[in-house]
């Protein structure tokens, strides 16, 4: 059978005997068990991943964009990605708000070069905070110029192994840097409700979307958990950037209007550069599938690794559905 879910509830051995294909966010140890058992693991892009989000109403210290930029420099995202999903988590090189896989289709090389990759640099992060008037107390915790002690909870869905792992890792890294962070787990059905109601300080949630048009990724980044069901993050979409004032809501909506591809690309580039500078959320990693695929037991016809069909997400316009429609994936 085909099985689609987020949290594995059976062992790899049981899955190997009963499941032909699965799309869970398997933790690295479970994936290793599949590989050790000789089960193939597919790694298609999902065009999104996990991000650190902020409650701009409750956490005033992160209001200046420079503070969020400092936080991006303070997190070694490679470490957080590795504990979450191993080889199936890749740190975004460009932090543009939509998948690195889609960037060359929508942005010029010159504009891509303008994007800050935010490499791990805690010294630079500390320097940025000092420049905006933040100081570190005797307890090694940063304090804003307005006196807010940077001591926060990171809310995360308890049942999602990848999200929980990245939350713990990010919390440990931020605490070492001087932003004391404690993980608070919330059952996965309650977690989005609390985020929509603004009952959080920091949280691990998704970013990006498996759609060829970046509009849908920006929607996931700054509309969902923000303006669609307020209060949420309460991140204002009218902002000041180095390129001037910007209305992110209007730009994102307009980027999907009409049939003029060049006009859309110009708006997508503007939104991406603004996202990269403002960092309303901080993408931690881009997720790739780690989908166990049993060949020849009950199903045959899986294409070889590298086949273009695997550029389709496991979730949106799934390559499995496409292979069925084409008659390539068949029962043994």
Note down the domain range covering 166.
47-236+279-288
Is 200 a member of any domain? yes
Which residues of the chain fall below pLDDT 50? Answer: 1-10
Q: Are residues 174 and 53 in the same domain?
A: yes
The model's pTM is 0.93
Count of positions (residues) in the chain: 332
SS3 81: helix
Residue 169: phi, psi to the nearest 5? -65, -45
SS3 10: coil
Q: Are residues 106 and 168 in the same domain?
A: yes
- pLDDT for res 16: 55
- pLDDT for res 20: 87
Q: What is the DSSP letter of 310?
A: G
Angle at 162 between CA 5 and CA 199, to 5 degrees: 95
Tell me the CATH number at 120. Answer: 3.10.105.10
Residues 203 and 171: their CA atoms lie apart, in Å, by 10
Q: Are residues 149 and 75 in the same domain?
A: yes
Q: Are residues 69 and 113 in the same domain?
A: yes
Q: Are residues 18 and 133 in the same domain?
A: no
- pLDDT for res 7: 45
- pLDDT for res 3: 38
User: Measured between alpha carbons, how far is residue 315 from residues 23, 24, 34, 148, 302 in Å?
Assistant: 8, 11, 21, 41, 17
Q: How many domains does the chain have?
A: 2
- Retrieve residue 237's tokens: 């979409």
Q: Are residues 21 and 148 in the same domain?
A: no
- pLDDT for res 15: 55
Q: Are residues 38 and 92 in the same domain?
A: no
Q: For the beta carbon of residue 221, count every other beta carbon within 10 angstroms.
A: 30
Q: Are residues 101 and 128 in the same domain?
A: yes
């Amino acid at each position: 059978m085909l099985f689609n879910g987020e949290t594995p509830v059976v062992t790899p051995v049981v899955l190997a005997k009963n499941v032909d294909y699965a799309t869970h966010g398997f933790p690295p140890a479970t994936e290793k068990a599949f590989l050790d058992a000789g089960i193939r693991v597919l790694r298609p892009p999902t065009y999104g991943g996990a991000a650190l989000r902020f409650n701009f109403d409750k956490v005033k210290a992160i209001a200046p964009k420079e503070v969020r930029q400092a936080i991006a420099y303070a997190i070694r995202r490679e470490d957080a990605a590795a504990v979450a999903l191993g080889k199936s988590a890749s740190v975004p090189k460009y932090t543009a708000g939509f998948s690195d896989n889609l960037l060359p289709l929508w942005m010029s090389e010159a504009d891509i070069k303008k994007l800050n990759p935010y490499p791990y640099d805690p010294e630079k992060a500390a320097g940025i905070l000092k420049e905006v008037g933040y100081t570190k107390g005797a307890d090694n915790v940063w304090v804003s110029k307005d006196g807010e002690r940077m001591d926060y909870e990171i809310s995360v869905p308890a049942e999602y192994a990848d999200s929980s792992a990245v939350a713990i890792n990010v919390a440990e890294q931020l605490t070492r840097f001087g932003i004391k962070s404690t993980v608070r787990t919330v059952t996965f059905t309650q977690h989005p409700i609390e985020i929509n109601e603004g009952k959080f300080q920091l949280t691990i949630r998704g970013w990006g979307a498996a759609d060829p048009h970046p509009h849908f990724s920006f929607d996931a980044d700054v509309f969902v958990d923000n303006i669609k069901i307020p209060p949420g993050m309460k991140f204002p979409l009218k902002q000041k950037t180095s390129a001037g004032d910007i209305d992110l809501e209007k730009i994102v909506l307009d980027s999907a209007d009409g049939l003029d591809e060049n006009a859309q690309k110009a708006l997508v580039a503007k939104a991406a550069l603004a996202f990269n500078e403002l960092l309303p959320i901080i993408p931690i990693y881009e997720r790739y599938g780690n989908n166990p695929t049993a060949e020849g037991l009950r199903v045959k016809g899986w294409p070889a690794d590298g086949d273009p069909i695997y550029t389709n997400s496991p979730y949106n316009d799934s390559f499995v559905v496409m292979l069925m429609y084409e008659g390539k994936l068949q029962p043994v």
